Amino acid sequence: MTEINLKWHGTANMQLSINETTVHFDPWFRRNQWAEPVIETGIESVRDDALIFISHGHFDHLQDVPEILMMRENIKVHCSKKAKHSISKVLSKKEIPERDMENCLNRVIEVAPGDILEYPEHDLKVSVLKSRHVRFDARSVLRVLFNGTAWRHLGMILKNVRGFPKGEVMGYDVCMEGETRVVMFGSLCVKYPEILESHHSPDVFIAPVAGRFNADEIALDMTRHLKPKLVVPVHHDNFFPPISYWTPLERLEAGVGELDPPVELLVPEPGREIILKP
């Protein structure tokens, strides 16, 4: 394994760097004023030559991408057809010249499960994995339905939800320099164990622990199929109250060491760089 630098920006927003290559996964920074923890970084932290990969079209994964495209002239975004349509709709409402809008959309690359993307100049190969969105449990749904704050801010919530439909849900197996692999998902899914097992033994698994109060159990099940060396949980933070909450990690923390083979777990701190050495 080559040395990898990881930096978690909250939610599913993970940045990974190896030598001169930077990859951003679901780069969403636009948390509301009640979010915990407070994230100090913003879209300006995204490098101009970075590669962006989007797991699905929900606002907490995609909303900042149009602004990033407008701010960075060389960045490339990989996402589903539905997510690209959402980006196009947002850009069409901006007061920017048609040529600039066309330039932005030309850098949005539609991908689908089964695709293999190669960037020789970055020594990077990316496999696109079929996935699904986690099914919210009754407890998670009811805590929003019976939350007065949620009803008071219903307009804001509906605007975000309706403006960014889910579309195709995907994961990514990122192979850097032919030897270092990071598997990333933006939502939990164990419906396709054969896909997870066919991409087994990555160096790092970025596990999105959100959407259910037992999400840590599902993340542990995904880890069991993938057999990574290291699992890094994300998306467990209280990223957009009142529709979010801190998701427990206890069962994931307790279970990874009992897997065969045992898996190391590292819980990241927002904005703090993690250096993984060979």
pLDDT in tens, 198-232: 999 999 999 999 999 999 999 999 999 999 999 99
Per-residue pLDDT of the chain (278 residues; tens, 9 = 90+): 789 999 999 999 999 999 889 999 999 999 989 999 999 999 999 999 999 999 999 999 999 999 999 999 999 999 999 999 999 999 999 989 999 999 999 999 999 999 999 999 999 999 999 999 999 998 888 888 888 887 888 887 788 888 999 999 999 999 998 889 999 999 999 999 999 999 999 999 999 999 999 999 999 999 999 999 999 999 999 999 998 999 999 999 999 999 999 999 999 999 999 999 87
pLDDT of the residue at 158: 82
Number of independent structural domains in the chain: 1
pLDDT of the residue at 124: 95
196: β partners = none
CATH number of 148's domain: 3.60.15.10
- pTM score: 0.95
Residue range of the domain that includes 169: 4-276
**Contacts of range 115-121, beta carbons closer than 8 Å, 24 or more positions apart:** 117/78, 119/51
pLDDT of the residue at 165: 96
CA 49 – CA 73 distance, rounded (Å):
9
